[in-house]
Structure 1
Amino acid sequence: MKKIWDGYSYTFILIAVSLIFSLVAKAHFNNSEQYITVTIEEGQSLWEIAETYAAEHHLSENEFVSWVEKENGIIGERIFPGDELVIPVTAEFGQPTQIAGAER
């Protein structure tokens, strides 16, 4: 057994690290499913969406905008009508998508 470990220890460690990394990555990607997706309407900004959902998240407006930019791959707060963005507001069962600014 010692000969096998000596010859393949790096392989075993690499497989273990890869497995752990894939489990952590899967858990991270599954987290985005718990948040709602909003559809952007004409004239809306990320700041307005942060204000609209202020009572439903625990972030400051700056943190909210930064989170949305990072998670949705947005550069420079540029959003367009029809874009669907994941926002850090927990989805209720059966309500994964909303129109931003619509009555809730």
Structure 2
Amino acid sequence: MKKLWENYSYALVLLAVSLIFSFVAKAQLNNEDAYITVTIEEGQSLWEIAEVFASEHNFTENEFVSWVEKENGIIGEMVFPGDELVIPVVAEQMEPTQIAGAER
């Protein structure tokens, strides 16, 4: 056993560090942003949605609106009733949601 350790100690340490890193990386991925779909109601804007979900995403309202525009192919912040948008939320707080007006 001692000879095995002497010959392969670097490989064994590298393997152990790799496994630990893998577990940490997996845990980090599980805590990152998740996505939900919301349906736009009459009179809603992207800014109102950003305000409603302000505590559930890691963006400023400006960054949130830009992200939603980019990911949903929206030009000029124009959304219409019935549009379904994918929005980012923190995974731990995620729950299926459809919002009516600016309330939740």
Is 1:87–2:87 an aligned residue pair? yes
Matched residue, 1:60: 60
Is contact 2:58–2:90 with CA below 8 Å preserved after alignment? Answer: no
1:92/1:99 CA distance change after superposition, 3 Å: farther
Is contact 1:37–1:97 with CA below 8 Å preserved after alignment? Answer: yes
Matched residue, 2:24: none
The TM-score with structure 2 as length reference comes to: 0.59
Cα displacement (A) at 1:99: 2.5
For structure 2, list consecutive stretches of 5 or more residues without a partner in the other structure.
1-31
**Percent same amino acid at aligned positions?**
75
Q: CA RMSD in A?
A: 2.5
Q: Which has the larger radius of gyration?
A: 2
For structure 1, list consecutive stretches of 5 or more residues without a partner in the other structure.
1-30
1:47/1:67 CA distance change after superposition, 3 Å: same
Alpha-carbon distance in 2 for matches of 1:69, 1:90:
19
Aligned partner of 1:80: which letter? F
Paired residues, number: 72
Is contact 1:36–1:90 with CA below 8 Å preserved after alignment? Answer: no
1:58/1:94 CA distance change after superposition, 3 Å: closer
Runs of 4+ with deviation above 6 angstroms: none
Matched residue, 1:14: none
CA-to-aligned-CA distance 1:10-49 (integer Å, 9 cap, x gap): xxxxxxxxxxxxxxxxxxxxx99x3011000000000010
Matched residue, 1:70: 70
The TM-score with structure 1 as length reference comes to: 0.59
What pairs with 1:1-80 in structure 2 (closer than 5 Å)? 34-80=34-80
Q: Alignment partner of 2:98: what SS?
A: strand
